[in-house]
């Protein structure tokens, strides 16, 4: 019974992903100008994740987490996620400051 539920869940998730992709592509084909802002956001996110990847080292896996059997690759991926989060948080705080300062100067 559990296997059936898992397979049903996987099937529904797969159908949902196919439906999302279908409607997204059809919307992009209907309005190609609107896709520009979405592509800018996707490229920005890829740049942030790439920057997080370049800034993370994964060196602490050998010293701090060796007893937990964390490999350097796993530590590097976790570091990438953390660095990306820090970058996005920093950009968010800077954008809030920018918005408030420009509002005060008007």
Tell me the average pLDDT of the chain. Answer: 89
The yes-or-no verdict on residue 15 having pLDDT over 90 is yes
The string over 22-44, giving b where at least 16 C-beta atoms fall within 10 Å of a residue's C-beta and e elsewhere, is eeeeeeeeeeeeebeeeeeeeee
Contact status, residue 87 vs residue 104, Cβ threshold 8 Å: no
Q: What's the pTM?
A: 0.69
Torsion of CA 36, 94, 79, 82, to 10 degrees: -90
Per residue in 45-88, pLDDT (tens digit) is 999 999 999 998 877 767 777 777 778 888 889 999 999 999 99
Q: How far is CA 1 from CA 6, 35, 81, 85, 92, in A?
A: 9, 43, 36, 39, 46
Delimit the domains of the chain by residue range: 1-30, 33-105
Q: What is the distance between the alpha carbons of residues 63 and 57, in angstroms, rounded to a whole number?
A: 13
């Amino acid at each position: 019974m559990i296997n059936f539920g898992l397979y049903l869940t996987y099937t529904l998730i797969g159908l949902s992903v196919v439906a999302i992709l279908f409607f997204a592509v059809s919307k992009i084909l209907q309005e190609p100008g609107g896709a520009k802002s979405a592509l800018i956001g996707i490229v920005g996110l890829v740049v942030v994740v790439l920057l997080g990847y370049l800034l993370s080292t994964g060196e602490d896996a050998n010293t701090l987490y060796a007893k937990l059997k964390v490999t350097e690759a796993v530590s590097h991926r976790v570091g990438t996620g953390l660095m990306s989060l820090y970058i996005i948080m920093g950009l968010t705080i800077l954008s809030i400051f920018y918005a408030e300062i420009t509002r005060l100067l008007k």
